[in-house]
A and B are shown apart, each in its own frame.
Chain A
Amino acid sequence: MEMFDLTLIWAFIIGFGIMMYVLMDGFDLGLGILYPFAPDEDARDVMMNSVAPVWDGNETWLVLGGAGLLGAFPLVYSVFLPALYIGVFLMLAGLIFRGVAFEFRFKSRRNRHWWNRAFCWGSAIAAFAQGAVVGAYIQGFDVENYAFAGGPFDWLTPFSVLTGLGLMAGYALLGATWLILKSEGHIQDWAYKITPMLLAIVLAVFGIISIWTPFVNPVVWERWFGHLQLIWIFPVLALLCAFTVYRSVQRRREGIPFVATIGIYVFTYLGLIVSKWPVIVPPDFTLWDAASAPESQLFLLIGVLFVIPIILTYTAWTYWVFRGKVRVGEGYH
């Protein structure tokens, strides 16, 4: 057992899970955010239909992440959740409403506009809350005796509001490029039209956050402007992806905008990780401080290593079955 550092393995698993969640639930939350701006009800049908087969599988990763954190990094679980109490409640309420809206909107006609609203507001609130979590993580937490010791609104600062809005814009971008991939005709035209605008907003907000972060957090300053120059590769690659999104939209490519948007996320995420590594509950606690007992990590690892390949296979299969365009009034074939 000494051969493996279970904490590192778990850091990789949880990190991978969060990434999967952000990318996969990201585009369906993004479609919810774009919902009120859609050109017509046909477009809304297509938008919802394009994610209906996969959305709850996407949220699988959130629940698995929550339970996995309790099992592997209990300090993260028991500090983040109390510190973000109000935000977590809003996120869960948002996710519940949109989950129900998914199922009942299609079965409903007279009440459809209510389910539309539930879908949009639920998505927007959940996305904002998740972005604010990132902001709160960058800012750090007031921890005493392995418990959060700050106030209920410590997490809500101009900085975390900005990260919240930033993630909303980012999810909307993912949603728009997903829609380019999955739709055609006037709906796809609309998606092509809004993508550059969203990209501009995302770049602006991410830019402000990137400049602001080192000032919020001296450790990050040291990381970026110290001797570790290789770190700059991540923002450069992220910008390259952003440029690719722009170019591919100009040339009306269908798949590349979505893939390149994923690239923006992956490199931003990696950049964030290397800024903070190995601190997981800032400012003081590292992954190893936050870990549960090795025997607990091992016990859980066995089950998770068994089930993750199955979930991945099932996920891949679902996306494969529901590949191709979603057409108005038609759904899947």
Chain B
Amino acid sequence: MELDPLVLSRIQFAFVVSFHAIFPVFTIGLASYIALLHGLFFKTNNPAWDRLSLFWTKVFAVVFGMGVVSGIVMSFQFGTNWSNFSQAASNFLGPVLSYEVVTAFFLEAAFLGVLLFGRGKVPQGVHLFAAIMVAVGTFISSFWILSASSWMHTPAGVELIDNRFHVISWMDAIFNPSFPYRFAHMAMASFLTGGFVVAGVSAWFLLKGRDPEANRRALSMCLWLLLFLAPAQAVVGDFHGINTLEYQPTKVAAMEGNWETSTNVPLLLFAIPDQEAQTNHFSIGIPNLASIILTHSPDGEVPGITEAAPDEQPPVIMVFWAFRVMVGIGLLMIAVALTGLVLRRKGRIYHNTLFLKSLIGMMAMPFIAVLAGWMVTETGRAPWLVYGMMTHAEGVTPSLTGPMALFSLIGYVLVYGVVFYAGIYYLTRVVRNGMLPEEERETTGENFKRPMRPLSATHTPFDDDVDPARS
């Protein structure tokens, strides 16, 4: 088999960016939750809120630290594997991505330290302010990243001169047509992710009988949030889809598995798209529903994949199925949120073991949905890197060879595998050790007054044997 540097680079980018995205998706939602907990504590002075914010701040510290470490690679990826694209798009992407870095550093320099280590050392109001600023900062960071990504889907405000994009209007380029929808969809995804993780962990604590007062509050709050957010996300997603229909019709056609432009298009529940034959096998669908969703009329016309020449079509099977995974999980989330409402009326959300266990199981779901959603939008753009203007093949580094790309791909998989394993392993220890009274907690027992870095906000030991100095 011949090693294609283009394919390998795409796999590598997808791997690295997916791996990285897991962390910010969670921290963006969690940062707002922590700010809310601080606000509630500030207002009511109920120590339950303080215990919750103390625990979740520790989790935040570990996840934020892992996000920073995995993010270092991102700022070099564009150059190593996509040098022609970097060179061409630098006038827009360079400043926009740099602003993301600048925001993140400003945030860390100014407020993160106060949030993580200021408890009891700065006035409560200042601590609350720091928590709010960290939450705002995570949104500003994602603002820049999503602007850059959206611009590659719906480029605007630029002119292509001598193979280089020149910015004519920063406003048009930054607030490009798909940006508001993508930003809203992603922000809500972050809240859903944070909500389901907090709900799942609270459920686990409740099953263990640990700090029921605080964890009941946390669970109840989360379930109200999810009850509102999960259906709202479906609505926002629909708007995003209609925007995509306008600007990237081929992507929507691939999402629907609709090969020929036609009216009365069914919503396919199952199909095996066949790119060679340009058709589907074994399709089962609900008549007219795709037309209704996309055009709000049963005989509305839906564009077909074949509008694009075969070599300008995305890999349909990936887009088609990733979309179904995302939507399927979205529906599952709505179902869980509604179940919570029903059980709440009978006062059983804190005791129903099956429900609590299924909440624990749901923790991984939003992450899978987010990655599936990104797969839909990113592979759905293929073969375009900058939609309608530059293809993946034009953007890839010309000097890159197959073996080089394979080497780095395997390398990143190994490095991230080790880091991820260590990080998740450690995170589960932090959770297992969470929400306990002080005297029952395991600590590293170091008599060091440790320097202040994000991960240092936790004192849970990494491995089992207790410090001999303390035992």
Q: How many A-B residue pairs have CB under 8 A?
A: 226
Across the interface, name the chain B residue whose C-beta is closest to A51: B451
Given contacts A78-B79, A147-B83, A292-B91, is CB(A100)–CB(B448) below 8 Å? no
Q: Residue-by-residue, is B383-401 near A (CB-CB < 8 Å gives 1, otherwise 0)?
A: 0000000000000011111
Name which of A74, A80, A300 has the most chain B CB atoms within 10 A of its CB: A74
Q: Shortest beta-carbon distance, B100 to chain A, in Å?
A: 8
CB distance from A144 to the nearest CB of B (A): 8
Q: Which residues from B are CB-within-8-Å of A314?
A: 109-110
CB distance from B139 to the nearest CB of A (A): 17
Interface pair B415/A56, CB less than 8 Å apart: no
Is B456 engaged at the interface, CB distance under 8 Å to the other chain? yes
A78 touches B462 (CB 8 A): no
B248 within 8 Å of A (CB atoms): no
Contact A110/B463 with A78-B83, A82-B397 known, Cβ cut-off 8 Å: yes
Whole-angstrom distance from the CB of B352 to the nearest CB of chain A?
36
The distance from the CB of A58 to the nearest CB of chain B, in whole angstroms, is 12
Residues of B within 8 A of A74 (CB): 86-87, 90-91, 94
Report the Cα distance A60→B75, complex, angstroms: 12
Whether B90 pairs with A82 at a CB distance below 8 angstroms is: no
Q: Considering the chains assembled together, what is the distance between the CA atoms of A71 and B71 in angstroms?
A: 18
CA distance A168 to B263 in the complex (A): 67
The answer to whether A111 touches B87, judged by C-beta atoms less than 8 angstroms apart, is no
* A148 and B423 alpha carbons, distance in the complex (Å): 37
- In the bound complex, residues from chain B placing their C-beta under 8 Å from that of A12 are none
CB B191 to nearest CB in A, in angstroms, measures 27
The majority secondary structure among interface residues of chain B is helix
What is the chain A residue whose CB lies nearest that of B79? Answer: A81
Contacts of B408 in A (CB 8 A): 85-86, 89
For A330, the closest partner residue in chain B by CB is: B448
Interface size class of B (residues with CB under 8 A): 35 or more
Residues of chain A contacted by B282 (CB below 8 angstroms): none
Closest-by-CB residue of B relative to A153 is B404
Contacts of A331 in B (CB 8 A): 446, 448-451
Contact string, A104-148, partner B, CB cutoff 8 A, digits 1/0? 101111110000000000000000000000000000000001111
Cβ of B40 under 8 Å from chain A = no
Asked if B446 and A303 sit within 8 Å, CB to CB, the answer is: no
A267 to chain B, nearest CB (A): 29
Q: Which of A36-44, A62-70, A223-231 contacts B (4 or more CB under 8 A)?
A: A62-70
Would B109 and A147 count as touching, CB distance under 8 A?
A: no
Within 8 A of A (CB), among B220-265: none
Against A, the Cβ 8 Å flags (1 = close, 0 = not) of B441-461 are 000101111111101101111
Chain A hits for B407, CB < 8 A: 86, 89
Closest to B446 in A: A106
Task: Give the chain B neighbours of A104 by CB distance below 8 A.
Answer: 422, 426, 455, 462
Given B68, B84, B98, B170, which contacts A78 in the complex, CB threshold below 8 Å? B84
- Judging by beta carbons under 8 Å apart, are B450 and A106 in contact? yes
**Bound: A70/B460 CA distance, A:** 39
Given contacts A107-B460, A108-B461, contact A86 B84 (CB under 8 A): no
Looking across the interface, which residue of chain A has its beta carbon closest to that of B101?
A67
Surface stretch bound by B, among A22-30, A91-99, A156-164, A200-208:
A91-99
Within B408-423, which residues are at the interface with A (CB < 8 Å)?
Answer: 408, 411-412, 415, 418-419, 422-423
Q: Judging by beta carbons under 8 Å apart, are B453 and A53 in contact? A: yes
**In the assembled complex, which residues on chain A have CB atoms less than 8 Å from the CB atom of B451?**
49, 52-53, 322, 331-332
- B427 smallest CB distance to A (angstroms): 12
**Residue A197 lies at the interface, judged by CB distance under 8 Å to chain B:** no
Answer whether residue B167 sits at the interface, using C-beta atoms and an 8 A cutoff.
yes
B72 contacts A100, C-beta separation under 8 Å: no
Taking a contact as CB atoms under 8 Å apart, the answer to whether A150 and B91 are in contact is no
Contact yes or no, B102 A110, CB < 8 A: no
Is A329's CB under 8 angstroms from B452's CB? no
CB distance from B15 to the nearest CB of A (A): 13
Docked CA distance A332–B170 (Å): 47
Q: What is the chain A residue whose CB lies nearest that of B78?
A: A70
A269 within 8 Å of B (CB atoms)? no
Assuming A109-B461, A150-B399, A333-B449, is B69 touching A63 (CB within 8 A)? no
Interface mask (B168-202 → A, CB under 8 Å = 1, otherwise 0) = 00100000000000000000000000000000000
Contact call B69/A99, Cβ cutoff below 8 A: yes
Instruction: Give A301's nearest chain B residue, CB to CB.
Output: B95
Chain B residues numbered 140-171 whose CB sits less than 8 Å from any CB in chain A: 164, 166-167, 170
**With an 8 A cutoff between CB atoms, is A77 at the interface?**
yes
| Min distance, Cβ B59 to any Cβ of chain A, angstroms | 15
Give complex CA distance A293, B79 in Å: 18
| Inter-chain contact B415/A67, CB cutoff 8 Å | no
Contact pick for B95, options A60, A71, A106, CB 8 Å: A71
In chain B, what residue has the closest Cβ to A54? Answer: B451
B463 neighbours in A (Cβ, 8 Å): 108-111
A287 to B100, CA, bound (A): 25
- A333–B166 Cα distance when bound, in Å, is 53
Q: Which residues of B contact A293 (CB under 8 A)?
A: 91, 164, 166-167
Q: Is the CB of A303 within 8 A of B99?
A: yes
Asked if A172 is an interface residue, CB under 8 A from chain B, the answer is: no
In the assembled complex, the Cα of A56 lies from the Cα of B65 at a distance in Å of 10
A59 at the interface (CB under 8 A from B): yes
A223-B422 Cα distance, complex, nearest whole Å: 51
Q: If the complex has contacts A107-B460, A296-B92, are A78 and B102 also in contact, measured as CB distance less than 8 A?
A: no
CA distance A80 to B86 in the complex (A): 12
**A62 cross-chain contacts in B, Cβ below 8 A:** 72
A78 touches B101 (CB 8 A): no
- The answer to whether A146 touches B87, judged by C-beta atoms less than 8 angstroms apart, is yes
Q: Identify which of A178-186, A241-249, A304-312 touches chain B.
A: A304-312
Given A82-B83, A107-B460, is A63 in contact with B75 using a C-beta cutoff of 8 Å?
yes
B contact set with A: CB distance below 8 Å? 65, 68-73, 75-76, 78-81, 83-84, 86-87, 90-95, 97-102, 105-106, 109-110, 164, 166-167, 170, 397-401, 403-404, 407-408, 411-412, 415, 418-419, 422-423, 426, 444, 446-453, 455-456, 458-465, 467
Q: Can you list 13 A-B pairs with a CB-CB distance of less than 8 A?
A: A49-B451, A70-B75, A78-B84, A80-B79, A92-B73, A96-B69, A97-B418, A103-B453, A152-B404, A299-B167, A303-B98, A307-B102, A310-B110
Q: Which 4 A-B pairs have the closest CB atoms?
A: A81-B79, A71-B94, A74-B90, A53-B451
Binding site for B on A (CB under 8 A): 49, 52-53, 56, 59-60, 62-64, 66-68, 70-72, 74-75, 77-83, 85-86, 88-89, 92-93, 95-97, 99-100, 102-104, 106-111, 145-152, 292-293, 295-296, 299-300, 303-304, 306-307, 310-311, 314, 322, 329-333
